[in-house]
Structure 1
Amino acid sequence: MKIIIVLLVFVVSITSCKNNKTNAEPALKKQEEDTLVHLVDIVETQKKEKQLRSFNGLADTSFVRLADFSDDFVYDMRYATENNFLKAKVYDCAECYTRVKTAKALVEANKEFMTQGLKIKFYDCYRPNSVQFLMWKIVPNPQYVANPVKGSIHNKGGAVDITLVNFDGKELDMGTDFDFFGKRAYHDNMELPQNILDNRKLLKETMESYGFWSIRTEWWHYNLSAGSNDKIANFKWACPQENNETN
């Protein structure tokens, strides 16, 4: 806050000087404008940094909102919309929660992707077990939805459904959309164009190097190996309109 106040005083000072020099040279005016833009950038960067949290002191099994720890991810939380295979909205609002250990691994994997001009985009993260029951009610088929009695690693906060996008937000071609249930989505389907196979390989090999494993039939699904033995959870995150703190 002190830094912001100092910057604002500096801005006011520049503006005052400019008013007293109505015949100032264009170069001086340009310099003043550039300074103002730079100061605004500093303030915005500080605001962004203050919003991010640290994993320090958090238990690996705690649940956290991923966006609180990194602003380098992209989100398209499909189950908070009707744009999914259920054709139904089953989340009250779009949020991506995971266990701390899952979040740490995701942040590190994303750093590596970013060195190649890419970012992780999320379709689904932690899923409350009550939502699993709702999904089972809509589609009671274990081929598409895990039986909620047994639960899914999504219900444990150790699974994510993801793809990759470039820095402009364009998705890499993975051959199918998210939640396409058919052979074309299988990892072992080699009857696909080489660019699709390369994109899937990049996603798979990088995620595996950070402790995740995939399932054969879904190119988008990744489980954290260290999260398989965690308990099924059923907490519900607070939506913004509820004006309620979740942690």
Structure 2
Amino acid sequence: MFKNRIWGLLLTAIFMFTLGCKEEVKNTNTATNAKKVVETVIDSIIEPKVEKPVFKSLEGIADTTFVRLADYSDGFAYDLRYATDNNFLKEQVYDCGECYTRAKTVKALLKANEEFKKHGVKIKFYDCYRPNSVQYKMWKIVPNPQYVANPVKGSIHNKGGAVDITLVTLDDEEVKMPSDFDFFGKRAYHDNFDLPQDILDNRKLLKETMEKYGFWSTRTEWWHYNLQGASHDPIANFKWDCE
């Protein structure tokens, strides 16, 4: 309806302008006025404002409840690697990619992300909560506790308190980090300082900001962060639906 009305006005204005041009010798004001009408209509051809999405509130939700992060903010980016074969397992182990985690973890992530935005960057997720059944899949592929937590004991990912992340600009451009996700070597260690200064600065920003909002890092994986106290939560096997 909006577009039809605008185009109707535009066609009318164009007709008046054309008519005015033909009669310009007889009435110069007609052409001038018609031209102004055309310019006014063109200036008014804009799309209606798109309403901002309405996000859910965490108020009243128990800290241990599993929630979908995208329901509470659109300020994050995602590259959920285990929903693809672009990971060290070389296999897809999630049926579909979603970032679920416990509400208390989401609260901390939202606060950290607001801090990151002040620096012109935001969080991008590689992995979030991981059902214990997926941990068993990973263990079957790589049964080595150096790379995969034994599913019997479980990972903090299985408890909804761990995230694997990096930073991207607000326009979703990659920020340089020491290595790719799931690179198991010295280059990924936090105590490796044999790196370009810009990479060291990016890693430092990620680490210090996450620690400020209640997360602690893993020495050998620059991307991995655990929420303080999350290790005391039970292992979970909650599974989300794939649409």
Counterpart among 196, 200, 208 of residue 199 in structure 2:
196
CA contact under 8 A between 2:10 and 2:42: conserved in structure 1? Answer: no
Gap runs ≥5 in structure 1: 1-7, 241-247
- Asked if the contact 2:69–2:106 (Cα under 8 Å) also holds between the matched residues in 1, the reply is yes
The aligned amino acid for 1:49 is P
Indicate which of 57, 61, 69 corresponds to 1:58: 61
Q: Offset of 1:16 from its aligned partner?
A: 4.3
Which of 146, 151, 155 pairs up with 2:154?
A: 151
Equivalent residues in 2 for 1:14-163, closer than 5 Å: 14-22=6-14, 23=17, 24-25=34-35, 26-33=38-45, 36-37=46-47, 39=48, 42-43=49-50, 46=51, 48-50=52-54, 52-163=55-166
Q: 2:235 maps to what in 1?
A: 232
Separation in structure 2 between the aligned mates of residue 143 and residue 90 of structure 1, nearest angstrom: 19
Equivalent AA in structure 2 for residue 21 of structure 1: A
Q: Counterpart in 2 of 1:4?
A: none
| Structure with greater Cα Rg | 2
Are the equivalent residues in 2 in contact too, given 1:211–1:226 (CA < 8 A)?
no
Asked if structure 2 preserves the Cα contact closer than 8 Å seen for 1:129 and 1:233, the reply is: yes
The alignment covers a number of residue pairs equal to 223
2:188 pairs with one of 172, 185, 188 = 185
Q: CA RMSD in A?
A: 1.5
SS in 1 for 2:137: helix
State how far apart, in whole Å, the 1-side matches of 2:158 and 2:80 are: 16
Q: Partner amino acid for 1:114?
A: K
Q: Which amino acid aligns with 1:85?
A: F
Letter in structure 2 aligned against 1:101: K
Could you say what secondary structure the match of 1:141 adopts? coil
The equivalent residue for 2:217 is 214
Query: How far apart, CA to CA, are the structure 2 residues paired with 1:115 and 1:198?
Result: 15
Which secondary structure state, in structure 2, belongs to the residue aligned with residue 49 of structure 1?
coil
Matched residue SS, 1:143: coil
Aligned-pair identity (%):
67
For 2:234, the aligned partner's letter is K
TM-score, normalised via structure 1 length = 0.86
Q: 2:80 and 2:57 mapped to 1: Cα distance?
A: 24
Deviation readout 1:53-84 (Å, 9 max, x if unpaired): 11122111100110111101000000000000
Contact 1:62 1:100 (C-alpha < 8 Å) held by counterparts? yes
2:174 to 135, 158, 171: 171
The runs of 5 or more residues in structure 2 that have no matched partner are: 18-33
Query: 2-side partners of 1:139 and 1:79: how far apart?
Result: 14
* Cα offset, 1:15, TM superposition: 4.4
Separation (CA, whole Å) in 2 of partners of 1:188 and 1:75 = 27
